[in-house]
C-alpha cells in the first residue's frame, strides 16, 4: 500500500501527506484486525472511523493514490447532482446520497463530515422531515437571489443592452488565480493583479492593480467610455462592497448606531438604550441594506448595476479569461516581461472570442433559470430519501430547519 504526493505545494506537503500517512496506518491496523477474524469488514470499519468513501479506502488500501493538486469541491457539481435527485428522481437526498453520487467529482481526501461543512458554506441547509430523515435542500434565500439575478439579466439581454462583467484575476509565480484565490493567497508571496470589463464585443479598460490603485477611479474611467443604459455586473468582493454607512450589529457602539439612524433619516430618541436603538435598526435594515458606494457611482453615470450572487460567481467571463491566460501566456524569468505579455494577450482578444464566451454564459444562465423554474413547480411534492445516513453528525454551523 503506497501513497504518492507529486506536487510541491506547501499545503499538500504539510497537510495532505501527513493525513494520508495517518490513514494508511489506520487502514493497516484495521487490515490486521480483519485478519484476526473480527466480524466487521476492515473497509467498513475504516469508513466508519474516517468518513471517507469505501472506494477511496479500497484504493488507499490496495493501490496508490496520487495527489498532484488540491482540488476544491465544485459548487456546480453539487447543484447539478441535487437537481438530478429533485427533478429526475423526485427525491430530496440525504448528505450520504449526495456524497456517494458525487464521488467521481470529489477530491479523494474529502470525508462525509467535511463535505457537510462545505455544503453549509455553499448555502445548503439540512431539513428534518416528518419521517425523521435529514435531507439536503438549498437555502430558499440563495435560490431567490439566483432567480432574481437570472431574471434581470435575461430581461437586459432581451432589451439588447450592453452588459459588461467586471473581471479580476492575478498571476503568481506558478499559476493564474481567480479573485477568491487572490484574497486567500495575497499574503503568501508575489502576485500581479489585474482588472478589466468584458462584454460580448470587447475586453475594455484592462489595467494593472498596484498598491494605492483606486477601484473607483478605474470604474469612472471605464464608465465614460460606455453607452448610457449599459449594465455593469459586479461580484461581491470586499473592495466592491463598501457601503456608505455600514449597518451596525448588536455589539456596535451606541454612537455608531446613532450615526446610522441619522444617515438614513430614521427618527429616534437620544434617551433610547443601545438595545432599543438596535431593535429600531433591525426593523429598518432590509429597507436600507446594501447601499454600495460603487453602485451609486455607476447609477449616477446612467448605467444599471447587477450583483452576481455568490452561488453562481463562476458564471462570468473571468472564468474563461483565466483559462485563456493559463493556456496561452508564455512566462519569462523577468516578471515584467510576463506582465507585458499578459496585457498584450488580453488586449488581443477580439469580438469573435468575446461573443463565444458571452454565448456560453447566456446558455448557462438560461439552463439555470429553467431548472429553478422546474423545481419551483414540483418542490412541494418531493419525497424524502429513505436511505440511511453514514452518521448523523451535522455541522454546528449549519442552518438546520
- How does DSSP assign 264-322, residue by residue? TT----TT--HHHHHHHHHHHHHHH---BHHHHHHHHTT-EEEE--GGGTTSSHHHHHH
* CA 103 – CA 53 distance, rounded (Å): 8
**Band (94; pLDDT cuts 50, 70, 90):** very high
The DSSP-derived string for 10-22 is HHIIIIIHHHHHH
Number of Cβ atoms within 10 Å of the Cβ of 243: 15
**Band (13; pLDDT cuts 50, 70, 90):** very low
- Say yes or no to pLDDT of 302 above 60: yes
Cα 255 from chain centroid? 35
3-state secondary structure of 167: strand
**Band (65; pLDDT cuts 50, 70, 90):** low
Residue 116 or 157, more confident: 157
Q: Are 185 and 175 in contact (CB under 8 A)?
A: no
Average pLDDT, the chain: 79
* CA 138 – CA 120 distance, rounded (Å): 9
| % of the chain with per-residue pLDDT over 90 | 24
Residues 6+ apart with CB under 8 A from 30: 42, 43, 45, 46, 49
pLDDT (0 to 100) of residue 137: 93
Q: Are 64 and 47 in contact (CB under 8 A)?
A: no
Number of Cβ atoms within 10 Å of the Cβ of 77: 15
- Please state which of the ranges 201-205, 292-296, 341-345 shows the lowest mean pLDDT: 292-296
Query: Which helix (H) or strand (E) is 384 found in, with range?
Result: strand 383-384
pLDDT (0 to 100) of residue 357: 93
* CA 87 – CA 324 distance, rounded (Å): 34
Task: State the span(s) of the chain assigned CATH 3.30.420.
Answer: 158-356
* CA 164 – CA 167 distance, rounded (Å): 9
- Say yes or no to pLDDT of 61 above 80: no
**Band (244; pLDDT cuts 50, 70, 90):** low
pLDDT (0 to 100) of residue 11: 41
Residue 150 or 17, more confident: 150
- Please state which of the ranges 69-78, 121-130, 174-183, 301-310 shows the lowest mean pLDDT: 174-183
pLDDT (0 to 100) of residue 293: 79
Chosen CATH of 158-356 out of 3.30.420, 2.60.98, 3.30.1380, 1.20.272: 3.30.420
CB neighbour class for 356 (10 Å; exposed up to 12, middle 13-18, buried from 19): exposed
Cα 71 from chain centroid? 14
**Band (153; pLDDT cuts 50, 70, 90):** very high
Rg (CA), the chain: 25
- Say yes or no to pLDDT of 9 above 50: no
* CA 350 – CA 200 distance, rounded (Å): 10
The average pLDDT across 63-83 equals: 75
Residues 6+ apart with CB under 8 A from 401: 125, 126, 127, 128
Answer yes or no: pTM beyond 0.85. no
The residue assigned the cell 435527485 is 85
CA triplet 182, 183, 185: central angle to 5 degrees? Answer: 65
* CA 137 – CA 125 distance, rounded (Å): 6
* CA 236 – CA 168 distance, rounded (Å): 12
Q: Are 399 and 184 in contact (CB under 8 A)?
A: no
pLDDT (0 to 100) of residue 151: 95
Q: Which candidate, 194, 218, 226, places its Cα nearest to that of 339?
A: 194
3-state secondary structure of 394: coil
pLDDT (0 to 100) of residue 124: 93
Amino acid at each position: 500500500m503506497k501513497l504518492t504526493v507529486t506536487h510541491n505545494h506547501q499545503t499538500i506537503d504539510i497537510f495532505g501527506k501527513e493525513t494520508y500517512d495517518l490513514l494508511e496506518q489506520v487502514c493497516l491496523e484495521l487490515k490486521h484486525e480483519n485478519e484476526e477474524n473480527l466480524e466487521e469488514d476492515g473497509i467498513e470499519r475504516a469508513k466508519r472511523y474516517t468518513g471517507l468513501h469505501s472506494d477511496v479506502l479500497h484504493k488507499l488500501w490496495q493501490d496508490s493514490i496520487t495527489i498532484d493538486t488540491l482540488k476544491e469541491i465544485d459548487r456546480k457539481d453539487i447543484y447539478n447532482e441535487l437537481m438530478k435527485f429533485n427533478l429526475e428522481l423526485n427525491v430530496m437526498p440525504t448528505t450520504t446520497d449526495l456524497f456517494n453520487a458525487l464521488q467521481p467529482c470529489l477530491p479523494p481526501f474529502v470525508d462525509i463530515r467535511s463535505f457537510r461543512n462545505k455544503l453549509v458554506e455553499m448555502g445548503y441547509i439540512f431539513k428534518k422531515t416528518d419521517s425523521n430523515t435529514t435531507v439536503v435542500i438549498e437555502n430558499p434565500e440563495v435560490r431567490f437571489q439566483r432567480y432574481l439575478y437570472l431574471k434581470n439579466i435575461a430581461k437586459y439581454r432581451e432589451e439588447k443592452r450592453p452588459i459588461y462583467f467586471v473581471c479580476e484575476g492575478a498571476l503568481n509565480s506558478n499559476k493564474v488565480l481567480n479573485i477568491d484565490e487572490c484574497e486567500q493567497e495575497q499574503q503568501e508571496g508575489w502576485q500581479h493583479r489585474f482588472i478589466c470589463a468584458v462584454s460580448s464585443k470587447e475586453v475594455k479598460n484592462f489595467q494593472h492593480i498596484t498598491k494605492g490603485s483606486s477601484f473607483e477611479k478605474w470604474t469612472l474611467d471605464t464608465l465614460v467610455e460606455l453607452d448610457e443604459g449599459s449594465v455593469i455586473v459586479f461580484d461581491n468582493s470586499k473592495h466592491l462592497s463598501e457601503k456608505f454607512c455600514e449597518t451596525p450589529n448588536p455589539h456596535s457602539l451606541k454612537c455608531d448606531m446613532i450615526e446610522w439612524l441619522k444617515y438614513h433619516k430614521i427618527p429616534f430618541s437620544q434617551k433610547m438604550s443601545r438595545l432599543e436603538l438596535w431593535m429600531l435598526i433591525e426593523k429598518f435594515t432590509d429597507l436600507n441594506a446594501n447601499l454600495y458606494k460603487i453602485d451609486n457611482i455607476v447609477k449616477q453615470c446612467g448605467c444599471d448595476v447587477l450583483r452576481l450572487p455568490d452561488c453562481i460567481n463562476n458564471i462570468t467571463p473571468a472564468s474563461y479569461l483565466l483559462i485563456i491566460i493559463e493556456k496561452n501566456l508564455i512566462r519569462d524569468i523577468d516578471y515584467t516581461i510576463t506582465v507585458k505579455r499578459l496585457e498584450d494577450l488580453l488586449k488581443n482578444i477580439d469580438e469573435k472570442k468575446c461573443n463565444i464566451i458571452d454565448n456560453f454564459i447566456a446558455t448557462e444562465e438560461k439552463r439555470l433559470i429553467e431548472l429553478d423554474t422546474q423545481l419551483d413547480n414540483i418542490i412541494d411534492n418531493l419525497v424524502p430519501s429513505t436511505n440511511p445516513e453514514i452518521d448523523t453528525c451535522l455541522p454546528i454551523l449549519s442552518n438546520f430547519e
